[in-house]
Amino acid sequence: MRSSRENIHISGAERLLDFDQLEEAMSEMIQRALVHPRGRAAKICLTLETVASQQVRRAPLLSLSTLQVKSWQEGRQRAVDLLIALGLERQIVENAIAQLAAGPAPQSGVMRGAMLIDATTGQRLEPDQARGVRVSRMDIEPQAQKEVRQFLPAQGLASQRITEAWVLASKVALAPQVIAELCWSDDPDYLTGYLASRQNGYQRITHLKKAGSPIGGRIFFIRSRDNLPALIDFLQNSPILFYPPEVQGV
C-alpha cells in the first residue's frame, strides 16, 4: 500500500500473506492511510501480486535490543559511533545523516523508499531520489505472527509499527552488500529510530529525531556499487518470511 496527498508521500506498508489473510490486511492498511499522523491520504494505491510459495525463503528475524538515549542529538551521536565501529567513515556517515535530516527527496521532501549510500565514496546510488528503493515481499510467517504480537507488548513495545520495521530491517540485513541500515520515521510524533546490521541486530534508539518533524527516511549503507541491480532486485522482489530469533525465546 502506498498513500499520498498532492504527490506527497503519506504512508506505505508491505505484506506477504496467505490468500485468506488478504481482506483483513487490506482494510487495515486503508484505515491506516486515512488516519495517519502525516494527514489523511487523498490517493491510496494497493498492489496485489501473486508469489509462488516455492519461491518463499525463510529466515530468522534479527535480534532486538533498545538503546536508551535522552535526546535526538545523543541518539544520532550513538548511531554515528556504532556505524563507525562497523567500519564506516565518519564523514560519509555524517554527510548521509545530514541529507536524510534535510529531507532526502527533491525539494527537501520525504522519499517513498530508502537512500542507498556507497560506503566507500559516500555517493547516493538509488536510481530515483524521490522513490528510493522500497523493500517489499516480506512478513512474519503465519504460524509465528501471534507469538511475535505477544512478545513485543510483553517488552513494553507497541507491536505493529515495530514488527513491520523489524521485518524490513531483517530482510535488508540479509543482503551481503548491506553494511547497515539507519532509520527514523516520518511520523512527526514517533521519535524512536533504529540502526540495523547483521553484526549487531536490530538496535532501537529511543530518540533519533526532533519532536514534530515530518522528515524521516532510511539509509542503507552499501559496500560498493558492484551488483547494484541484483541488490535492488533482492530488496524489492525476493519473498521472505521471518521466524522469531531463538535466542530471545520468543
Does 231 bind ligand AMP (CB under 6 A)? Our answer is no
Q: Smallest distance from the beta carbon of 149 to ligand AMP, in angstroms?
A: 18
Buried b (16+ CB within 10 A) or exposed e, 49-87: eeeeeeebeeeebbebebbebeebebbbebbbebbeebe
Binding letters toward ligand AMP, positions 83-122, x by CB under 6 A:
---------------------------xxxxx--------
Phi, psi of 163 (to 5 degrees): -60, -45
Q: What does the alpha-carbon distance between residue 116 and residue 178 come to, in Å, rounded to a whole number?
A: 9
Q: What does the alpha-carbon distance between residue 19 and residue 220 come to, in Å, rounded to a whole number?
A: 31
Region for residue 198 given its phi and psi (left: phi exceeds 0; alpha: psi -120 to 50; beta: otherwise): alpha
Whichever of 75 and 217 has its CB closer to ligand AMP, that residue is 217
For ligand AMP, the nearest residue by Cβ is: 185
CB 94: neighbour CB atoms within 10 A? Answer: 15
**What single-letter amino acid sits at 24?**
E
Q: Smallest distance from the beta carbon of 188 to ligand AMP, in angstroms?
A: 10
Give the residue, chosen from 14, 126, 139, 181, that forms a contact with ligand AMP under the rule CB under 6 A.
Answer: 14
Whichever of 148 and 182 has its CB closer to ligand AMP, that residue is 182
Task: Give the interface segment with ligand AMP, choosing from 57-65, 68-76, 132-140, 198-206 (CB under 6 A).
Answer: 132-140
Task: Give the interface segment with ligand AMP, choosing from 59-67, 71-79, 144-152, 179-187 (CB under 6 A).
Answer: 179-187
Task: Give the interface segment with ligand AMP, choosing from 29-37, 53-61, 73-81, 182-190 (CB under 6 A).
Answer: 182-190
Does 218 bind ligand AMP (CB under 6 A)? Our answer is yes
Q: Smallest distance from the beta carbon of 23 to ligand AMP, in angstroms?
A: 22
Region for residue 132 given its phi and psi (left: phi exceeds 0; alpha: psi -120 to 50; beta: otherwise): left
Q: Beta strand pairing status for 43-45 and 2-5?
A: antiparallel
Does 185 bind ligand AMP (CB under 6 A)? Our answer is yes
**For residue 168, which of 194, 145, 189 has the smallest C-alpha distance?**
194
Which residues here bind ligand AMP, judged by CB under 6 A? 12, 14, 110-114, 132, 134-135, 165, 168, 183, 185-187, 216-218
